[in-house]
Structure 1
């Protein structure tokens, strides 16, 4: 004769097996037909153009803003901290290089991969500023970089 434990296991396995087709039916009714064709719409970005007639002070402020507002956290942190450290001491040619570097590529991940040297930097973006950014990204001083810097450092007049 069956023991109570063996009988219980048999009953439970029969019950589970009888429930599975019902669950499968419910799940399969949730979606009917073939998968729709992927429709990816690519909106072309206008080509980057260097801004002419912009004072160095305005350019620095714009680049600071653009360094902070990237659309991906990794670059927001990396570029805003880099801008805090270097932007005020950059020469005009360096500012132009930085402007092109952060605004011309259409994919922010490319900038991140180049800066962290996960991918090789294209020759068109390889510059003194890119070398500075790569060195900064190495974080040799092992600073804790978890967030973009506060904006208090901008108000130096008070």
Structure 2
């Protein structure tokens, strides 16, 4: 039979090991900054800012592209951007305006689509001022009016014909 001291020591050891095991299982890492900040917060805007020191890639030359082919390509490029917000904004804009655009306006729209998605989105929604090259663009003003959606139209992705 174990003496009272031995039983106490043994019991204390078992409890200590149990607590140590629980502590190792319940360890939580210290709180860190949220890697996915909410949209339009200062943290999000800072993370989505396009670096100014990175040169833009030159656009592809499209030699001999007809106006109809350009319009079809712009519809597709407006829809398949990479972010749902840009897809919805630009595809509905293309659906509503591309049919009435002249060739010169379509070329300007083509240049606008070469810009990063989030930049176009923030310029159109007025969250950021556009750079000098787009400051006086009538096309960007039309896109901003479209983004305001003053008629409160429920927008969904247009069907590809």
> What's the TM-score once normalised by structure 1's chain length?
0.66
Distance 1:150 1:53 in 2: 27
Say whether 1:70 aligns with 2:108: no
Say whether 1:119 aligns with 2:120: no
Distance 2:111 2:61 in 1: 7
The answer for the alignment partner of 1:131 in structure 2 is: 141
**RMSD between aligned residues:** 2.8
Deviation, structure 1 residue 22: 2.9
Once the two structures are superposed, residues 52-97 of structure 1 have per-residue CA deviations (whole angstroms, 9 ceiling, x without a partner) of: 4321111100100100100110011110000000001001111111
The answer for the alignment partner of 1:88 in structure 2 is: 99
User: In structure 2, do the counterparts of structure 1 residues 111 and 17 end up closer, same or farther at CA, with 3 Å as the change threshold?
Assistant: same
Distance 1:113 1:133 in 2: 11
Q: How many corresponding residue pairs?
A: 121
Distance 2:18 2:98 in 1: 66
